[in-house]
Amino acid sequence: MVKDSSVPEVVILRLPLYIRALTQMSEEGQAVVSSKSLGDRLQITPAQIRKDLSYFGRFGKQGRGYKIASLIEELTNILGLNRQWNSCIVGVGRLGKAIINYPGFVPEGFKIVSAFDNDESKIGQTVNEIQILPMNKIRSIVKENDIKIAILAVPATIAQSVISDLVDTNVKAILNYAPIAPKVPKTLILRNIDPVLSLQSMTYYLD
């Protein structure tokens, strides 16, 4: 499926929030939702929600709201969440092990199928039934398992070199936990997860 490159990235980032809120509403017994009700829950204006959805077609009818089940299905298809995405993790320290053991990925369509580390003492060990492999195996394993997503949980000092290695594989997207702003080619999608930055942005509002 060819993606529309004209859709702003900020809109794509909001779609998972819509799915999560809609799923919660469905579990609460709601069948239909208005853009105002959805906006109130997410602190987003109704106009913004309608504009976001308009990039992908027409959903719902004016004055009648959106059928929640149908909207969840449509947004799930748009994001490609109607299939399983094989993933790998690079760096199996405390954070890496916690990520492997996190039970929330598989139900959402993301399965960690392999793990890599450059620490020889860890090679061959298993974490949650996943064997830790050496970094020199990453290219062949990524190809064999059709891995498109890599989760990076390595120290900041080596993160850029690891990302450079990943660029030469079949990986198309990286979720980066290392506290750096890495350089990546435009062909690779990067998302950074940094709790410290989030904490620092919150203190602005605190007394």
**CA nearest to 195, candidates 108, 77, 95, 112:** 95
Q: What's the Cα-to-Cα distance from 171 to each of 84, 167, 175, rounded to whole Å?
A: 15, 7, 11
Q: What is the pLDDT of residues 105-155, one digit of tens each?
A: 999 999 999 999 999 999 999 999 999 999 999 999 999 999 999 999 999
- d(C-alpha 171, C-alpha 146), whole Å: 9
pLDDT band at 60 (very low <50, low <70, confident <90, very high): low
Is residue 91 within 8 A of residue 118, CB to CB? The reply is no
Kindly list the structural domains of the chain, giving each domain's residue range(s) and its CATH number in brackets, ordered by start: 9-78 (1.10.10.10), 85-197 (3.40.50.720)
pLDDT at 2 over 60: no
Token reading at 88: 């790998």
Is residue 114 within 8 A of residue 132, CB to CB? The reply is no
